[in-house]
Amino acid sequence: MTSATITAAAAGTWKLGDLTVNRMGFGAMRLPQNGEAFGNATPSDRDRAIAVLRRAVELGVNHIDTAAFYFSSLRSANELINSALSPYPGDLVIATKVWPGRDPSGTWWWAESAQLRGQVEENLRQLGRDHLDLVNLRIPPSRTAASIAEHFGALADLRDAGLIRHLGVSNATPEQLAEATSIAPVVCVQNPYGIGARPEDRVMPRTCGEQGIAFVPFFAIAGKGREAGRTGADGDEIQSIARAHGATPAQIRLAWTLQQGPHVLAIPGTGNPDHLVDNIAAAAIRLTEDEMARLDAL
C-alpha cells in the first residue's frame, strides 16, 4: 500500500456529539497564504488550495478545522472551503472558532460576548451554511485564569437558537472546561499539544479522555514554531524512529498524537498536495510501546 492509497479512515473514528468523524482531519489555517500564517506572506495559489481541499475529502477527511480570521490579502480559508466543497458531502463536519477576530487590514481584536453572534454569522455567510456543525470558543491568552461563562453562555444561546450544532473550547484549562460543561455540553477541546509537551499540558488530554470529550491538538507538527511552521531539525530520536518506519519526522509526530488515545483527533494543515498525502498516510502508522516511551521522554 502506498501513501496515496491510505485514507483518513486508517486512524479510526470518534464522535463529536452525534457526528462521526475520522480521527485524521485537516486544518485550513495554512491554505490562504504561502509561509507563516497571519504574517506578510504571499497569498496562496487559489487553484492549488482548492485542489488540496478536494483531495483531502477524496482521501477520507470529513473533519475540517477553519476560522473566519484565517485569511491573507487575497484568500479566505472559509471562502476556499465553500468554493471547493459546496454542496458539502453529507458526512463532512466543519469546525470553526470565535472570540478572536481580524479587521480587513489584518489587525486582531477580541469580541465582547454580545459580538459573538456577528462572528458566528460571518462564518455562516462565508461557508454558505445555515448552521455551523461545531464552534470552538478560542480563549485569549490573557484569560487563562479567568471565567469564560459570559462568552460560552452566549454561544450556548446561539446553539439553542439553532445556529450552532455543537460547542467546544480552545486554549482552555481544566477549570474552564468544567465551567463550560456546567453551562452546555462540550464535545471537544482544542489546545496546542505535541511531542515535548510540558507535564502540565498533558492533564487536558487525560481529562478529556476520562469525560469522553474529543481532544483536538493543534501545532502537533509545528511545535514551538507555531504559526511559522516547524523550525529546526528534528532530534535523533524522532529521526531514528522515522527511519525505522520509512516515514518522515512529521508523520511520526502525527502518529504519536493519534496514539495518545482513541479520543484524540489530528488536524494537520498544509497547502501542499504532497504534504497532504503524507500527513494522511500517518493515520496508518502504529508505533511500538518502546517507541512511544522514547518519544514521551523527549
Q: Quick one: cell of 270?
A: 498544509
Query: CB-based contacts of 125: which residues, under 8 Å, 6+ apart?
Result: none
Residue recorded with cell 460571518: 122
Identify the sign of the CA torsion 32, 91, 87, 186.
negative
Which one, of 221, 192, 212, lies nearest residue 262 by Cα? 212
The active-site residue, picked from 26, 70, 71, 219, is 70
Residue pair 22/11 in contact by the 8 Å Cβ criterion = yes
Which one, of 177, 160, 171, lies nearest residue 211 by Cα? 177
Amino acid at 94: I
Separation between Cα atoms, residue 222 and residue 18, nearest integer Å = 30
- Residue 70 annotated among the catalytic residues of the structure: yes
Annotated catalytic residues are 70
